Amino acid sequence: MKTQNKIIVVTGGGNGIGRELVLHLLNKGARVAALDISEAGLKETAELAGDKKDKLSLHVVNITDRAAVEALPEQVIAKHGAVDGVINVAGIIQPFVRINDLDYAAIERVMNVNFYGTLYMIKTFLPHLLKRPEAHIANVSSMGGFLPVPGQGIYGASKAAVKLMTEALHSELSNTNVKVTVIFPGAIGTNIANNSGVGDSLKVDASSNQRAMKVLPPSKAAEIIVDGIERDEYEILVGRDSAFMNFIYRLSSKRAARFISKQMASLLPE
């Protein structure tokens, strides 16, 4: 689905990949409804939009609040007239600890934002998308959604759930006007740790011999994602690390798990 002149809803629009998607879509001629829990973040996105902010609407919402999500279509349609696409970006990581040491409050928070928030958005907007001549749903999973990362076991489980749900949705909607894409970002230069409230858990020893990951700028990630959506791709691997680990995982899941475990070992407490 070409995004020019389309109306796209983007969650997590107040920072990181979500913000860059909003800006990139506006530059391509789309109208955008940006959603985020942070009003300040959304206002910064609007400022960055410059003279294109007349095609942008801001919606402060907690996507784990189903009632709040279900009120969104009326608000978006009142502003823009319709909805042609939804890109579910909003997500958080967990504290970098083993599952045995992770409390249930953190577990529920991660699942509520990453899985249920995405589910609420899909269930709420899909009836409207089905009425459009063409439409698109794109959900951000993660490299951690197909590859087990020690210290991010629940985050990975939530993103694996998004992966499988999105793939099932693709099959269910194959004979409709709604295209579906799942997205697997690798290491992207965002503030997801601080935005998730777990910044202190990600302190890495600078003297560690851990091989540094090449971090992709969120603006480049946004370009890759929009390009993939416009080509109606089934899946989008964002970054060389994501593509490489997907390849290795398909060859040998055990080898890939062992490789990433060694890479991430320094992040886990003894």
Catalytic center residues = 155
CA angle, corner 171, sides to 67 and 120, nearest 5?
10
Q: Which residue in 154, 192, 236 sits closest to 14, CA to CA?
A: 192
What residues form DSSP beta bridges with 135?
Answer: 178
For 77, the token pair is 């349609």
For 53, the token pair is 């902010």
Q: How far is Cα 179 from Cα 53, in angstroms, rounded to an integer?
A: 27
> 119: Cβ–Cβ under 8 A, 6 or more apart, which residues?
165
What residues form DSSP beta bridges with 51?
Answer: none
For 232, the token pair is 């109606």
